[in-house]
Chain A
Amino acid sequence: MTQYLQDPALWALIAGTPLAATAIVRGRKARANLRQEKAELEKRAADLENNYAEAVQEAHNRAEEATKSALKSAMRTLQGLANEQQLAISKTQEKYGEHQLLQDLLEIDHMNSQFGRRAQSIAVLCDGWLGRQRAVASVYDVVRSAKGRIRHYTRVEIRSQSNFALVSRAVEPVALALAELLDNATSYSAPDSPIDITIRTVPKGVCVIIDDAGVGMNEEEKNRADKLLSATHATGVTGLGNPPQFGFAVIGVLAARYGFTVSVDSASPYGGVRAVVLLPEDLLTNMPEPVEQPTTHAPAAAEQPQPSGSTMTSSTVSGSTAGGLPKRRRKGSISIVPRADSTTAPARTSEETASIMGAFQRGTQSGRSAANPNREGHDPQ
């Protein structure tokens, strides 16, 4: 044992054990600390990452908003100018209607319409001003209006008409959506191939069907189109891609906002794309009455009994002039005193009449005979 006691190794062991124990304990503590720190750091990193993502999203939103509001006000100005120009062109067209100049004016008008449409489309994506409120218009006229807003409008053929009209708030959005569809149809098909439009009445409303003879869309394009067309929220200006593709995004926004549906997932009989716009019943109304209607059934109206006791015969439209202007009958005298012939004179029997006439006769005779002496008296004889 003593030999062991004398062994320095033992002493070293004895001295070393607590040291080692202390070192181990310290190590453990340090490790625990480190672990805790690590966890904290990780948490902080995750927080930072989250914050960062949020910040990025916020910055993105803010940028989107800023872009939108800048574009919106810019487009508002352009749209106003395009409208003003359109009115000016209309007036000039009236003025030079007979002149050869009209041809050029029509071309300028066409360019102006396209320009206006572009500005409108961007405005729609920026939640901006859509344009003028229109009067109720027939579906056929809305389709024709849409046709006039694209470059190659002469390729578009409207095969059918409809007896339905669109309510005034839907006229401009539907025209714009159709114009964007037609623009796509003409852009993605051969330069001289026709685009056919068919208007069909279906139980749920009216369908406008646009068929092109283009190359159609591949799966990826179809998916993108479907996503944009059924979008519940606007894609925004920054998600349009480069070069920006406005068409489907604009149509999607309009369709969601005004409650019509657009689908482009079927193929046209010509191998291209068939786009179907379904206008639901609440956007439809009956055809408006023409403002200047040549009335041909008006004599019947003239025969309607006048309200009894009225001394005025109101003017009634009867027939029309050759020019289509309504012919009006001469108004009756507008007098407050009842007309003599309209007051019903009490009917007299022939005896009464005879006695009245007899009294009149006797009266004049007696008057003459009574006057004669005076007259003789005045006679200068």
Chain B
Amino acid sequence: MTAPGEQEPESAQLVRPYVITNGRGLPENDQFNLITLVTASEQRPPSHLDPEKRRLLELCSGGYLSVAEIAGHMGLPIGIVKVLLSDLSSDGYLVTRAPAPPAQLVDVSLLQEVLDGLQARFG
């Protein structure tokens, strides 16, 4: 039916992303952002898990991985990955860790006061 040479050079994924999430919307709660770190939990996943979920667990079984990295490796939109992650974490197969908070910079005026104090005493 398909004549040779008539094939498209590029083809999209066989399983479309909306099928992977079964048409569910993006998760409302902001549990996951790009730099949330996740790793597989001790709990053994069941064998009938979807291939994407299994792959995701395999990916982060070695240690903590950020959401952005997972999406990159899986070749899926981040929103879709978030749906999968929220499923897996509510079933207890994943552990999440909030990203390390950025260092709080101390107020410059405080530093200036400390410096002034030191200079007054020892200077």
Residue ranges of A at the interface with B (Cβ–Cβ < 8 Å): 80, 83, 86-87, 90, 93-94, 96-100, 102-103, 106-107, 109-110, 113, 124, 127-135, 137-138, 140-142, 144-145, 147-148, 153-154, 160-161, 171, 173, 175, 257, 290, 292, 294, 320-325
Contacts and interface: CB of A to CB of B under 8 A. Distances in A.
Contact of B80 (A86, A97, A173): A97
A132 B78 contact: no
Given A97-B71, A321-B62, A153 B79 contact: no
Interface of B: 1-3, 6-8, 10-23, 25-26, 34, 48, 51, 55, 58-65, 69, 71, 73, 76-81
Nearest to B60: A322
Given A127-B1, A294-B62, A320-B62, A97 B78 contact: yes
Contacts, number: 116
Contacts of B22: 153-154
Nearest to B1: A130
Nearest to B23: A154
B63 to A, nearest CB: 4
Given A109-B16, A294-B59, A323-B65, A129 B2 contact: yes
Nearest to A325: B73
B14 A137 contact: yes
A94 B25 CA distance: 16
Contacts of A144: 15, 19-20
Contacts of A257: 1
A148 B26 contact: no
Contacts of B34: 98
A171 B58 CA distance: 26
A344 to B, nearest CB: 40
Q: Which of A129, A142, A321 has the most CB of B within 10 A?
A: A129
B8 A132 contact: yes
